[in-house]
Homo-oligomer: A and B are copies of this chain.
Amino acid sequence: MNIAETAQKLRAGDRRALARAITLVESTRPQDRAKAADLLATLGTDRQALRIGLSGTPGVGKSTFIEAFGTMLTGQGKRVAVLAVDPSSTRSGGSILGDKTRMDDLARDPHAFIRPSPSQTQLGGVARRTREAIALCEAAGFDVVIIETVGVGQSETAVAEMSDLFLLLLAPAGGDELQGVKRGIMETCDMILVNKADGDLKAQAMRTRADYAGALRLLRKRARDSEGFPKALAVSALERGGIEKAWGEMQALATWRQEQGIWDARRAEQARFWFHEEVRAGLLAHLTADAQVKARLATLEDAVAAGQTPPAAAAQALISALFPAKA
């Protein structure tokens, strides 16, 4: 791949160049990593999109919502990219998402770009690739980048840390239904959308929305929420109801944050966070590239696993062995 040529095509909005560039940043081969870094540096960061994270458990209608929301945005002339973070569950051994995501209308839309999730088990890797894919989409001139995730522990945290706005999509709550929310995510999200406000579920969706609105008022007051935020809104992805209102609220919050300087401060804070993550992971990867260090790590790991050495003491032993001069 010619980096300069790819960068030029990508900035001109060439979708195949974008797709190839995302494949490059998804690669874990060292030479590809170097090329990816080169490409990202060449592209620069002068173009920015609104980054919207969307979390929700399977079955709440994330794909249908993205289809409705994305189509509305492209109808307004906006260019929309959709990325997915789908961590394979290390515990259950397979993908958490059941069916493959379907967004037929949006997939055919010339103003939209949909990229399924790379199948990787290591979350750190997924997070980096997704952040870099976001940067590529921004350089390609997309106005809105939607990052979809299932609501499972660390992947949700990771997506929140790379989004300007983090939305939580929920189904109407019923007496015999499990609600997929806990306090941590109520603290993190910027907006709650209760989906399925249509047909038989409409009244229930409205009640659920009111419950969440109340809970949000009770639980939160953050510096980055303008007056009246965070909000809980009812939408119908199926009937495409409430979507424009939700978009209006997103824009209102985004504008307020930009005016307050909160927007840039948050992006800077997120970049610092990811830098530290990269340094931690990179140090370990760099050091264990040495066969001797790797062997030493394995020996210590076995001693720890056998209960012969506490984890902290073993880690200290490794670090002392690595840096004898400084020890």
Question: Looking across the interface, which residue of chain B has its beta carbon closest to that of A268?
Answer: B305
A77 at the interface (CB under 8 A from B): no
Question: Looking across the interface, which residue of chain B has its beta carbon closest to that of A174?
Answer: B175
Asked if A154 and B154 make an inter-chain contact with CB atoms under 8 angstroms apart, the answer reads yes
Residues of chain B within 8 A (CB-CB) of A267 are: 307
Task: State how many residues of chain A have any CB contact under 8 Å with chain B.
Answer: 83
> Of B151, B207, B275, B279, which is within 8 A of A183 by CB?
B151
A29 at the interface (CB under 8 A from B): no
A291 at the interface (CB under 8 A from B): no
A108 at the interface (CB under 8 A from B): no
Q: How many copies of the chain does the oligomer comprise?
A: 2
Residues of chain B within 8 A (CB-CB) of A207 are: 175-176
Asked if A41 and B310 make an inter-chain contact with CB atoms under 8 angstroms apart, the answer reads yes
Residues of chain B within 8 A (CB-CB) of A33 are: 312
> Of B131, B173, B188, B215, which is within 8 A of A175 by CB?
B173
With A312-B128, A313-B37, A319-B279 known to touch, is A181 a contact of B183 (CB < 8 Å)? no
A1 at the interface (CB under 8 A from B): no
> Of B96, B154, B277, which is within 8 A of A157 by CB?
B154
Residues of chain B within 8 A (CB-CB) of A131 are: 311
> Of B96, B283, B310, B315, which is within 8 A of A287 by CB?
B283
Asked if A222 and B278 make an inter-chain contact with CB atoms under 8 angstroms apart, the answer reads no
Specify which of A33, A91, A271, A304 lies most central, judged by the most chain B CB atoms within 10 Å of its CB: A271
Asked if A301 and B281 make an inter-chain contact with CB atoms under 8 angstroms apart, the answer reads no
Contact flags A287-327 to B (C-beta < 8 A → 1, else 0): 10110000001001100111111111111101100010010
Asked if B319 and A286 make an inter-chain contact with CB atoms under 8 angstroms apart, the answer reads yes
With A157-B154, A181-B179, A211-B176 known to touch, is A91 a contact of B187 (CB < 8 Å)? yes
A100 at the interface (CB under 8 A from B): no
A20 at the interface (CB under 8 A from B): no
With A220-B92, A280-B280, A304-B272 known to touch, is A310 a contact of B175 (CB < 8 Å)? no
How far apart are the CA atoms of A178 and B174 in the complex, in Å?
10
> Of B132, B186, B211, B289, which is within 8 A of A310 by CB?
B132
CB distance from A168 to the nearest CB of B (A): 11
> Of B153, B274, B279, B318, which is within 8 A of A284 by CB?
B279
Asked if A280 and B272 make an inter-chain contact with CB atoms under 8 angstroms apart, the answer reads no
How far apart are the CA atoms of A272 and B302 in the complex, in Å?
8
Asked if B45 and A326 make an inter-chain contact with CB atoms under 8 angstroms apart, the answer reads no
Asked if B176 and A179 make an inter-chain contact with CB atoms under 8 angstroms apart, the answer reads no
**A275-B315, A286-B326 given; 11 more Cβ-contact pairs under 8 Å:** A91-B222, A176-B207, A178-B215, A179-B179, A179-B181, A180-B181, A275-B300, A275-B301, A275-B304, A279-B315, A282-B316
